[in-house]
């Protein structure tokens, strides 16, 4: 650091010395020239006054004071290089104390067993205490009754094979935008996206089911107007509900809970272009029309299925945010 400071000072004073002689006029307007004069001129004036007090004839050679300071800075750098490196080398070569571990005192086998038993009991008590703290924290955490909707594209990997990259990108971006618009309409509280799927959280089971139904109803029109791929997009949907410890700032992808796991399993077992719901969700719905029982259980839950192929009933409008008026052409959204 001192070496660099001395070298910088040497260069600055050399520049000030050069500026004392004839030079292009545009140099005087440069920012660097102004800064050099602002920093160096006060020091040069003090040197001139000090030299004049010692020996007044030195004032006649005052234009060389900048050169003299540059030479002094250069030799100061030489001194730093001559003094500090050898000192640092000597400090590095000083022997460091070597730690020699002492042999532990000899103990009997019975004492070793007693120590192991005590340590084991202490560790067990600490684990039990920590477990109790976590259990108490979970009991006191904010819990909300939420409904979760899982949507995933069926066979997405095979769909993308032998397709142009641009067609895949444009199609799936339009598909995700369609889902986002539906979630906004039905008041989704939180969302967690994967490349081809999404898990959405609603504060009302009717809204979650209605959103899933809207996704399935919108697919036919989407495949006819926005799908650039050779194959149609088909999705599987699952809905489950229950109380989950969740807060306003909770990220949905960070929450691990059985209610969410069951939602994903319902979606994975569903047939393409169908919505699977647990019996608990169906029992709480205001409108249960269009659902049929499935002779299969998922994670111990009885399952019901809804499909736009067998139900032409409009989904209930969301209570939080009314749907926009449907145009006459929207009748094409239902499956033939």
pLDDT of residue 248: 80
User: Which of 248, 242, 249, 240 is closest to 276 using CA atoms?
Assistant: 240
By residue range, what is the domain housing residue 248?
143-333
Asked if residue 275 and residue 196 are part of one domain, the reply reads yes
Claim to verify: residue 81 and residue 173 sit in the same structural domain: no
d(CA 38, CA 43): 10
Q: Characterize the bridge pairing of strands 235-245 and 190-193.
A: unpaired
Helix (H, G, I), strand (E, B) or coil at 16: helix
Give me the pLDDT at residue 129, please: 77
- Say yes or no: 225 and 162 in one domain: yes
The larger pLDDT score, comparing residue 294 to residue 246, is at 294
Ranges 71-85, 260-274, 277-291, 322-336, most confident: 260-274
- The torsion of the CA quartet 193, 198, 201, 205, rounded to 10 degrees, works out to 170
Give burial (CB, 10 Å; 0-12/13-18/19+) of 256.
exposed
User: pLDDT grade, residue 99 (50/70/90)?
Assistant: low
Q: Which residue has the higher pLDDT, 216 or 28?
A: 216
Higher pLDDT, 46 or 301: 301
Calculate the alpha carbon distances from 142 to 9, 197, 205, 263 in Å.
Answer: 64, 27, 19, 21
| CB count in 10 Å sphere of residue 170 | 15
Domain membership of residue 177 (yes or no) is yes
Q: Is the pLDDT of residue 55 over 60?
A: no
Same domain (yes/no): 57, 126: no
How high does pLDDT run on average in the chain?
76
Angle 198-203-207 (CA atoms, 0-180°, nearest 5)?
70
Domain count across the chain: 3
Q: Could you tell me which residue, 24 or 239, shows the higher pLDDT?
A: 239
Q: Report yes or no on whether pTM surpasses 0.75.
A: no
Answer yes or no: do 296 and 209 share one domain: yes
Residue 261 lies in a domain: yes
- Name which of 14-28, 55-69, 98-112 the model is least confident about: 55-69
């Amino acid at each position: 650091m001192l070496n660099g400071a001395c070298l910088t000072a040497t260069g600055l004073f050399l520049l000030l010395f050069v500026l004392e002689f004839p030079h292009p006029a545009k140099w005087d307007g440069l920012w660097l020239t102004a800064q050099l004069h602002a920093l160096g001129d006060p020091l040069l004036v003090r040197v001139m006054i000090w030299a004049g007090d010692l020996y007044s004839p030195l004032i006649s050679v005052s234009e060389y004071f900048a050169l003299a300071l540059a030479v002094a800075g250069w030799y100061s750098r030489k001194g730093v290089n001559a003094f500090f490196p050898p000192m640092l080398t000597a400090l590095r070569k000083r022997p460091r104390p070597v730690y020699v571990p002492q042999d532990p005192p000899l103990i009997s086998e019975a004492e070793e067993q007693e120590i192991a038993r005590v340590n084991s009991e202490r560790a067990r008590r600490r684990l039990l205490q920590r477990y109790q703290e976590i259990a108490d924290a979970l009991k006191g955490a904010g819990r909300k009754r939420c409904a979760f909707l899982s949507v995933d594209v069926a066979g997405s990997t095979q769909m993308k094979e032998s397709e142009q990259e641009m067609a895949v990108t444009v199609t799936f971006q339009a598909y995700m935008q369609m889902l986002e618009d539906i979630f906004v309409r039905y008041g989704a509280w939180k969302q967690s996206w994967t490349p081809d799927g999404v898990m959405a959280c609603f504060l009302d089971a009717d809204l979650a089911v209605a959103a899933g139904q809207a996704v399935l109803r919108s697919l036919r029109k989407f495949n006819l107007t926005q799908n650039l791929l050779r194959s149609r997009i088909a999705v599987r949907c699952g809905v489950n509900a229950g109380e989950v410890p969740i807060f306003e700032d909770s990220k949905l992808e960070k929450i691990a809970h059985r209610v969410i796991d069951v939602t994903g399993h319902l979606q994975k077992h569903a047939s393409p272009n169908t919505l699977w719901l647990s019996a608990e969700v169906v029992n709480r719905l205001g409108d249960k029309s269009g659902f049929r029982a499935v002779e299969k259980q998922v994670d111990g839950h009885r399952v019901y299925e809804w499909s736009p192929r067998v139900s032409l009933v409009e989904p209930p409008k969301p209570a939080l945010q009314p749907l926009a008026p449907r145009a006459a052409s929207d009748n094409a959204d239902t499956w033939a």
